[in-house]
Structure 1
Amino acid sequence: MNMKAPRGTVDLLPEDTRKWQYAENIIKELCRRYHFEEIRTPVFEHTELFQRGVGDSTDIVQKEMYTFEDRGGRSLTLRPEGTASVTRAYVENKLFGNPSQPTKLYYFAPMFRYERPQKGRMRQLNQFGVEVLGSADPAVDAEVIDLAMACYKELGLTSLKLVINSLGDGESRDNHRRALVEHFTPVKEELCSDCQVRLNQNPLRILDCKKDRDHPAMKNAPSILDYLNDESREYFEQVKSYLTLMGIDYEVDKNLVRGLDYYNHTAFEIMSEAEGFGAITTLAGGGRYNGLVEDLGGPNTPGIGFGMGFERLLMALEAENKQVALEDSLDCYIVAMGEKAEQESVRILHDLRVSGLQADKDYLGRKMKAQFKSADRYNSSYVLVLGEEELDKQVVNVKNLETGDQKEVNLSDIVSYMKETLLGGNEDE
């Protein structure tokens, strides 16, 4: 019997989840400032959604999806990425009918891809992502990129590189596609088996191939930037001008294509340049996907978004030696001695928590010295001592563990006293 976590998954223990919660809270606050709202979609969807929305020619659909048949004979797939699910929810729930547009959504969600596990690339990965549906304004592209960069900068990262490209509109891509086919056909047999298939299905994806990236034909492959029509070129120029206005540095990478079929116009990636980060430097990536809503049965609706791997975010923080501010302490720890004191401590503990304080007590019947050690381990600010003598006097002995000061407080007043002391009052008042 194999009782270990499946390959490509990890347990996040409390010391890990505190870091995740810290980063999540900062990102959620940024989303509030940028006027994004949270959406939560199912962990699994009908397989056709990803085949149609992500693209049959992508590695995700061809090689990486966790697909199974349920008892009703339906083919279902664990969500490998977020955009298709959010777009499906947008169409199904007719969010395009809301008077307030565009629709600006964000999510935190696990994704599932059958990949070769390595540091920062797991089979169950966790992702933060945003989607903006309903606007084709280049300023929205810049805003989405701005939010992605702000997430990293707000967490203290500085060794960042933003690369952008334009994939153009349908006309531009068709012209570029023909040029790629003409360019790579003479060397087709020298390409990997995947790229030989891509040459007919989606030749743009050849530029994203890791196996053939050093092939000589890659160096002088036709650039999409040379095939942009006037409208696509103007759109890209506007996006770049907005980034410049916001003081966001970027590089144009003509070979940046992203790995999903639905992208058009703006595509971008954010990379870590921190020393020792690793060979896979991409932290986040995204772009515009006008036409995806229509493909999923909705009206003509432009969209743009990005996905950010949380595991890689934590790796970047570690690589740059950024310390995460963790709150690992208690307001109060109750030390109770004797049966009656134990009973009374349960009531006090409940009332302290209801009043908004973080409190705990011993549940192992340990002696007083061991209970004080527990309070120290939990980094508690105060210890409330309750024994037979205190019960006889109807008081609680309150000890400040930082100063060592002690004070007797009436049992009936202990909750209000601790609330006043810890939430802004003065214990000597």
Structure 2
Amino acid sequence: MTLDFSAAQHLIHELFAALKPTEALFVEIASESSQFIRFNRARVRQIGMVEDTVITLRLQSHQRTASSSFPYSGAVDLAAALDFLTQLRSETEQLPVDPYLVPPTDTGSIQETYMGRLPDPDSVVETILRPVQDLDFVGIYSGGTIARGSFNSAGQAHWFATETFCLDYSLFTTTGKAVKNSYAGTHWDSATYQAQIEGDRQQLAQLEQPPRQLAPGRYRTYFAPAAVAELVGMLSWGAVSEAAYRQGGSALAKLREGATLSPLFSLQEDFTGGTVPRFNADGDIAPPRLALIERGKLQTFLISRRTAQEYKLVANGANRQETLRSPLVLPGTLPEREALAALDTGLYVGNLHYLNWSDRPGGRITGMTRYACFWVEKGKIVAPIADLRFDDSLYEFWGSHLEALTDTPVWIANTDTYERRSLGGITVPGMLVKAFQFTL
């Protein structure tokens, strides 16, 4: 089981009681109870449960700070937790003063629990494999409860728990080409999953056609939600951060200086879906929705409490890295079923990878097409394409070249499982761009 709020409170009370008058303490808790299943050739290759809780202590003393993390399995680990606190005391004495250290405050606490409807753990294998038994199906399913806690010695006590699932998978042709997709959320719906697999089957059959070789140039392009999510994810790499802007490294700096994107493009942090907590490791609470770009115009960058301290600003609940945690690109009016017809002739891009900034001040992103990408003529897929490299500016594909966004946003879950299951994801519609630059 995940660590619950009452058990966490007991541990926190003992740690705070051990503090000296000159000390302040932050305590972060990451806990999960997850089922993992690995599939290969539509068969189970590995299955198991993970019960895991990690606690991170961050001690402040005399304008210095040190932190340490350790696994926690119950009350028997309280003595170990107090030992870690003693070690941190010793470390802080040897560290330099941090001029922008912000002490803990109590501005109110929140406790939020979101219940989902996950597949029955005893029948989830059959539920997943029934529609793909005749296919070369490879993937990983993860599902269960994830909890996060953030406490400080000023009295703040945040708790968040959610039930989510994610099936991240690929379907392969006999020649090794693949359609990659994912199905994730808080409420499993077998009809939705079945319909998604049927769409994947159609693309899989189209991948059997000889690939079309395309010359470098600008092409009319439709980006499926998974590809749009990759582009939006790049904004966490030095674009939406106030600190990055102040230090001269923001890809969106031109928006602060008066440039605009298309009025079709609006970006928010949206925490109302219940997949990621509104509080951060410092205990700051973000609003349920925070508009970053509204109808092409910059509203705000993400501002952490440290950045606010350094530049005398007001923080808006951002994490220390000032990265997107629950981004939402607002949908448009193009019906999803009419996307290929609206594209008419051009490229359908299902996935992207290897993204990086090629010119961050200019907002230019480079990367590669991947998996199911096709050449389309008169609204019909006619052939897969050989992989292409692209290099284009967000001031164009989200600016003057953005033609339409679909009316159905899709949640693309964060599938990372380094150390633990990740929270959150990116919610985006499909995107039609009138001219997108492919370079190789």
Q: Point out the structure with the larger helix share.
A: 1
TM-score of the two chains, using structure 1 as the length reference: 0.20
Between Structure 1 and Structure 2, whose CA radius of gyration is higher?
1
Under a length normalisation based on structure 2, what TM-score does the superposition of the two structures give?
0.20
More strand by share: 2
